A = this chain, B = another copy of it.
Amino acid sequence: MVSKNQIKLISSLHQKKYRLAHQLFIAEGVKGIDELLRSNFELEHLYSTVDDFKTIPLTQKTVISDADLKKISALTTPNTCLAVFKIPKERIILNEGIIVALDTIRDPGNMGTILRLCDWFGIKQVICSKETVDLYNPKVVQATMGSIARVNVNYLDLKTYLKATKLAVLGTFMEGDVLYSTELPAEGIIILGNEANGISPEIEALVTQKITIPRFGDLQQTESLNVATAAAIVLSECKRRVF
């Protein structure tokens, strides 16, 4: 059983202001929850239609009906389980290796996909501009497929951060050094720009190396790549050089 007040609280966590107020967020699906449980995230409570997390003590889990799960879920088609976790304190920034910086990524799916990609390529640190979608948005958590547990994410004033760094700052643009043939630093910050507007002018001014992904299609067309696929191409290229 889940009470009306609990339903109200959990549903409120779909919104950023309530996540901030309660310092809690939700994760859905066995895989994602399992990855969070195996990491340093602290479980508040698990709600599940089947009792399939045997290691969680009874005081921290409740078996609920499909109907109740639908009420608290942020998904159109809910899974079998939803967990409420505590939002951890922000950790210090790891200023080494390749760092990915998000300049106002708005789409939760893109954000989650980028974190999953960073995890795959062993990127430990993601820096987000304050306008970037919230890491604990349920759709972001979902799209990370558990990678949220393994990549350190900090929100800060991106301009101030970039002004202070001594690392190379790379960004992709329509014109720049050709990705496949230019030298790429082993350490540096890779900027990913907003879905509609790309990298903002004030951030562009702080980029030390502009790179371009060659196009092979009809060059007359005004094409662009989705930000997560562009990120995949650039990170793969950085990593293949050190493989």
Chain A residues packing against B (C-beta within 8 Å) = 31, 35, 109, 113, 116-117, 119-122, 143, 145-147, 150, 178, 180-181, 213-218, 221-226, 228-233, 236-237, 239-240, 243
Please determine whether B228 and A120 come into contact, CB atoms closer than 8 angstroms.
no
Please determine whether B116 and A217 come into contact, CB atoms closer than 8 angstroms.
no
Contacts of A181 in B (CB 8 A): 243
A119–B221 Cα gap in the complex (Å)?
A: 10
Q: How far is the CB of A140 from chain B (nearest CB, A)?
A: 13
Contacts of A180 in B (CB 8 A): 240, 243
A122–B151 Cα gap in the complex (Å)?
A: 34
Contacts of A216 in B (CB 8 A): 120-122, 239
Please tell me how many copies of the chain the complex holds.
2
Please determine whether B223 and A116 come into contact, CB atoms closer than 8 angstroms.
yes
Tell me which of B217, B232, B239 contacts A121 (CB under 8 A). B217
Tell me which of B117, B150, B215, B237 contacts A120 (CB under 8 A). B215
Contacts A122-B216, A122-B217 known; list 18 others, CB within 8 Å: A109-B109, A116-B224, A116-B225, A116-B226, A119-B221, A119-B223, A120-B213, A120-B225, A147-B223, A150-B217, A213-B236, A214-B243, A228-B229, A229-B231, A230-B232, A232-B233, A233-B236, A236-B236
Q: How far is the CB of A66 from chain B (nearest CB, A)?
A: 20
Tell me which of B215, B221, B232 contacts A35 (CB under 8 A). B221
A243–B217 Cα gap in the complex (Å)?
A: 13
The closest CB in chain B to the CB of A117 belongs to B229
Contacts of A178 in B (CB 8 A): 243
Tell me which of B35, B113, B146, B213 contacts A229 (CB under 8 A). B113
Contacts of A228 in B (CB 8 A): 113, 226, 228-229, 232
Assuming the contacts A109-B109, A221-B35, asked whether A214 and B226 have C-beta atoms less than 8 A apart, the reply is: no
